[in-house]
Structure 1
Amino acid sequence: MASVSPYIGLFGTVWGIMHAFMALSGAKQATLQMVAPGIAEALIATAIGLFAAIPAVMAYNRLSLRVNAIEQDYGNFIDEFTTILHRQAFGKAPH
């Protein structure tokens, strides 16, 4: 979701700006009333994309940190457990 949301927002931005230019294409003189709706549409699409992407990236980063911490804990457990097994089997810690 986080990786796709900015592209959806970008698509909406391109779409809105395209509408703004199409409104200008048939006019002899450009006015703000012609351009503003398309630009507003583009900015809304950008905001929606960012609104979806930012929390998703934050959640992913938090989850990723937690997974890395758990992975580190498992690695430490494996090291300690194999040392205990080695001591029981051979009477000394491995080198």
Structure 2
Amino acid sequence: MSNDLSITSLVLQASLVVQLVMAGLLAISLASWTVIFGKLFGLKRVRRGNEDFEREFWSGKSLTEMNQAVTNKPLTAPLERIFASGMREFLKLREKRLDAGAQLDGARRAMRASYQRELDVVESNLSFLASVGSVSPYVGLFGTVWGIMHAFTGLASLQQVTLASVAPGIAEA
């Protein structure tokens, strides 16, 4: 083993198993950061869209005007989609001339189902992040143990063990 302790040389001198562990951790780290930043920007977009819809909703417009405004444009905010599904169901049940309680219950059910769909979208990939967060330390520990075993195997063939001969193997771990 060489005594060069740069990151590049340590990675290149590491055993294949340690290199695979490092590559796997790097790939999972990049995937995790992609999900994290995607969630960050996605939640900001959701918040902005919901705030815009809420401002319009409480502006004093009638529900009919709101429904026309929502149906004439693509729905971008979760609150818009929840409102639109509730209004669609309400209008459909009103055409059937059901009593007001049945109309409201139907609209409430439609809005609850739409809310659950929106929540599923917002919560997507969180289980991936949780799994990565709980498994990664153990994968890293496996790589460390493997590196230490590799270092001690290399030391077994030496006549005299010095700090200079131990350092590269321990640094790999």
What TM-score results when the alignment is normalised by the length of structure 1?
A: 0.52
1:53 and 2:53 correspond: no
CA distance, structure 1, for counterparts of residue 132 and residue 152 of structure 2: 30
Residue of structure 2 equivalent to 1:25: 52
CA contact (8 A) 1:5 1:50 kept: yes
Q: What is the one-letter code of the residue matched to 2:149?
A: I
Q: What is the one-letter code of the residue matched to 1:10?
A: F
Alpha-carbon spacing, 1:14–1:48, altered in 2? closer, same or farther (3 Å): farther
CA RMSD, Structure 1 to Structure 2 (Å): 3.4
Q: What is the one-letter code of the residue matched to 2:154?
A: G
Q: How many residues align?
A: 76
1:2 paired residue among 17, 22, 28: 28
User: Identity over aligned residues, as a percent?
Assistant: 5
1:79 and 2:158 correspond: yes
Unpaired runs of 5+ residues, structure 2, are 1-26, 59-77, 80-114, 161-173
Q: CA deviation at 1:77?
A: 1.7
What TM-score results when the alignment is normalised by the length of structure 2?
A: 0.33
Alpha-carbon spacing, 1:68–1:29, altered in 2? closer, same or farther (3 Å): same
SS of aligned partner of 2:43: helix
Q: CA deviation at 1:6?
A: 3.7
Q: CA deviation at 1:5?
A: 1.6
